[in-house]
Amino acid sequence: MSARVIVPCICVLASGLLVAAQAGATPPLPGERIAANVTAAGLDVSGLTVDEAAARLDGAFGERLRQGAVTVRAADINWRLTGAGAQVRLDTETSVKRAVYAGREHRGARVDVPLAVTYAQSAVNAFTNRIRKRLHRQARDSQVRITVRRVRVTHSKRGRDINRTDLRQKIGAALSDPHSDRLIRPRLQSPRPKIDAGKARASAATVVTVERRTFTARLFKNLKVVKTYRVAVGKPQYPTPRGRFTVTSKQVNPVWSVPNSPWAGELAGSTVAGGTAANPLKARWMGLAGGIGFHGTGESGSIGTRASHGCIRMHVPDVIALYERVPVGTPVLIS
């Protein structure tokens, strides 16, 4: 459906003209001529009949409005929308009526009236959407990239966009204005990323990785390795899971809720108090997921082997030291 658009006035219109035009003013009378000093979009139509003024307006502006084109230039790219493509039409009847009503209202005073021009808003919307699709570039957040031996932060990058609503209005005004140079240079917007390098580094202030193949845990602080530890990992039949985890809980001298599994023997499903000889979770616990976590062990000889039922075993002094430096929420990568 076409949308009616009014060309911006060359001079400011008196409110009385708009009221008269909207209040059902008497239509032009047979043979009535437009009063002196009346122009339409800058073209003198004073003293002309309705038909004469319509012919003059169409001759002066009709072809340019119907066949002219609007060019949008941004990022060294040009887009072109023709008047024909936008279904631009000069409504000479309404334009002339405005001139007649203005002459009656202003009684010889100089007045300029806007042309009545219609165009297909859907065509303008589609044109604007095509421009935006080509120009739009999503802002890129900084990201934390973790491997077992390295933690790094990628660079953020600003995006690129345009204000589609503003551009549609400017295109519509240019299509409707016979005096416009019809070259529009929209201002490019530069959206900021939500996460910059500073925020990403803060989220990775502490990182722990576990390399199962070498039985090595690494503690990273501010993207740098500050400590390595020898650990034990799960037996082949109870492997320590691979993947990205988070430290979800911490306990000193943790209680052992024994899994209800055959390997637990007569303790299966029971609870063993923390700090006791029967509890294999020595000194500290840092839980990850599914009952898997870091803990100290009384079996020092198992360190550097596949010996656990999925957990990551550490020497007691090591797990105490790591516990003090690793807050809840710390990312953990097991490879």
pLDDT of 12: 30
Q: Rounded CA gap, 20 and 318, in Å?
A: 89
pLDDT bracket for residue 11 (50, 70, 90): very low
Q: Which of 74, 72, 70 is nearest to 189 (CA)?
A: 74
14, amino acid identity: A
d(CA 287, CA 152): 25
From 2.40.440.10, 2.40.110.10, 2.60.40.10, 3.60.110.10, which CATH number describes the 205-334 domain? 2.40.440.10
Q: Which residues are catalytic?
A: 295, 311
pLDDT surpasses 60 at 6: no
Q: Show the beta-strand stretches assigned E in 159-318.
A: 183-184, 206-211, 216-221, 224-234, 243-246, 249-252, 256-257, 271-272, 282-289, 292-296, 306-308, 312-314
Closest CA to 92 of 54, 46, 45, 60: 54
Average pLDDT, the chain: 90
Domain residue spans in the chain? 2-141+159-184, 205-334
- Give the pLDDT of residue 107: 86
What digits encode the pLDDT tens for the residues 106-157? Answer: 988 999 999 999 999 999 999 999 999 999 999 999 999 999 999 999 999 9
Q: pTM value?
A: 0.70
Tell me the pLDDT tens digit for each residue of 65-85.
998 999 999 999 999 999 999
β pairing state of 77-82 and 183-184: unpaired
Rounded (10°) angle between helices 92-106 and 50-57: 120
Share of the chain above pLDDT 70, in %: 90
Residue 163: which residues within 8 A CB-CB, separation 6 or more?
Answer: 186, 187, 189
SS3 287: strand
For residue 1, name the pLDDT band (cuts at 50, 70, 90): very low
Q: Between residues 89 and 4, which one has the greater pLDDT?
A: 89
